[in-house]
């Protein structure tokens, strides 16, 4: 007997510690069983029609106190007693499950997860970061500070509290799986950052992501120099090695501290940015010179121009004429650059009215 009781206690502990879906499913299955049990019993023992039998089962399980449809036989009364006992167990189990979900915060977590999934599904031109390690956290922080929408895909569930505290959209899952990347909105994303500390995993993520979205801009992390070429062949547009970048930065700091200080000032200053601007089709800036473009915006300077044919002009002359699909790299105040970016994409009235 003690072994049986011990086994029951063990099963109950595993049930309480099990996943939420299991803890919700079991009471619901028991409720369905009770409904079927009562309906079949009243049909077989008392000859009730199915609707009447189901009605009797529901009012018995809910103990609402309504009268019987017709007097029951002694067998029917014994059956009703057994149904009441089953109903008490089921109702108390449902109540305990619901109370446990509310008290433990699981219910809020489930509702929050569904709301987050709906928000992620509606995102467009966002960035997906695979792994929330040191590199992923730095990338997420920079992107969110720039106003970009970010979705983190993290395989380790123990980092979920950290992700929730950061206030970012996230998915706990394996970023090498197509279904997980689809859930993160890969087909509508603008960029993907592979920040996993395994080069092999980053290669696989890049291959999968490129197949799902050929237009995606992919940046991958490489821990070893030998992986750089593999990541490029896997579909990465840019490959970054944190160790190489750190070494180059330290060397630049030793050789040209003033230059690096200027770069740091641009990257961290709250009102100064380096941005890319693309001249859109029919833009108001098309066929104008750089001096004309920058004149209305105080503090804006064009550092480089990449022509649509691929030629990179550094530094561009003031009389350089801009054309559709030219890419400008400009530095200046954030507000001025934002207005210039709007002008770069805004069509002229003549082009807007053209058929």
d(CA 316, CA 330): 11
Say if residue 7 is exposed, middle or buried (CB neighbours under 10 Å; 0-12, 13-18, 19+).
exposed
Place of tokens 């190489």: 244
Q: Which residues contact 350 (CB under 8 A, 6 or more apart)?
A: none
Q: In what helix (H) or strand (E) does residue 278 lie, and over which residues does it extend?
A: strand 272-278
CATH number of 272-353: 3.30.70.1450
d(CA 294, CA 328): 11
Check: pTM over 0.95? Answer yes or no: no
Third-level CATH fold of 2-104: Helix Hairpins (1.10.287)
Mean pLDDT per 10-residue section of the chain, whose length is 355 residues: 47 50 69 87 88 86 72 84 81 72 60 83 94 90 88 91 88 93 94 93 94 94 87 91 75 72 65 81 84 86 85 86 87 84 67 43
71-94 tens-digit pLDDT: 888 888 888 888 888 877 777 777
Secondary structure (3-state) at 305:
strand
**In degrees rounded to 5, what are phi and psi of residue 262?**
-65, -45
Q: What is the structure's pLDDT at 134?
A: 87
CATH architecture of 110-246: 3-Layer(aba) Sandwich (3.40)
Which two three-digit tokens encode residue 31? 């409720």
249-299 tens-digit pLDDT: 777 777 777 766 766 666 666 577 788 888 888 788 888 898 888 888 888
Q: What is the structure's pLDDT at 105?
A: 56
Sign of the dihedral through C-alpha 211, 213, 219, 221: negative
Q: Could you tell me which of 208, 212, 215, 128 has the C-alpha nearest to residue 169?
A: 128
Place of tokens 């007997």: 1
Locate the domains of the chain by residue range. 2-104, 110-246, 272-353
Which two three-digit tokens encode residue 239? 């490959």
């Amino acid at each position: 007997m003690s072994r049986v009781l011990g086994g029951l206690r063990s099963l109950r502990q595993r049930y309480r510690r099990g996943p939420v879906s299991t803890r919700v499913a079991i009471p619901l299955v028991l409720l369905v069983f009770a409904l079927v049990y009562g309906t079949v019993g009243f049909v077989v023992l008392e000859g009730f029609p199915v609707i009447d039998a189901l009605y009797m089962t529901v009012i018995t399980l809910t103990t609402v106190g309504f009268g019987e449809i017709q007097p029951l036989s002694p067998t029917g009364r014994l059956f009703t007693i057994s149904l009441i006992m089953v109903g008490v167990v089921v109702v108390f189990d449902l109540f305990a499950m619901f109370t446990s979900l509310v008290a433990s915060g699981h219910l809020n977590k489930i509702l929050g997860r569904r709301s987050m999934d709906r928000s992620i599904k509606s995102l467009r031109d966002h960035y997906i970061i695979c792994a929330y390690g040191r590199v992923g956290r730095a990338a997420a922080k920079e992107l969110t500070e720039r106003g970009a929408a970010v979705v983190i895909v993290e395989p380790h569930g123990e980092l979920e509290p950290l992700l929730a505290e950061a206030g970012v959209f996230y998915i706990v899952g394996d970023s090498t799986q197509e279904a997980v990347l689809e859930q993160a909105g890969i087909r509508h994303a603008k960029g993907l950052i592979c920040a996993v500390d395994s080069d092999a995993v980053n290669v696989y993520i890049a291959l999968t992501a490129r197949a799902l979205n050929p237009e995606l801009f992919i940046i991958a992390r490489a821990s070893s120099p030998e992986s750089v070429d593999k990541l490029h062949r896997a579909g990465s547009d840019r490959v970054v090695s944190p160790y190489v970048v750190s070494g180059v930065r330290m060397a630049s700091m030793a050789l040209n501290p003033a230059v690096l200080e200027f770069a740091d000032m641009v990257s961290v200053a709250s009102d100064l940015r380096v941005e890319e601007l693309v001249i859109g089709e029919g833009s108001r800036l098309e066929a104008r010179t750089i001096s004309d473009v920058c004149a209305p915006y105080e503090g804006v300077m064009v550092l480089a121009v990449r022509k649509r044919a691929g030629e990179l002009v550094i530094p561009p002359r003031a009389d350089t004429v801009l054309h559709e699909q030219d890419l400008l790299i400009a530095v200046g105040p954030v507000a001025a650059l934002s207005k210039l970016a709007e002008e770069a994409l805004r069509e002229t009235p003549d082009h807007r009215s053209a058929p």
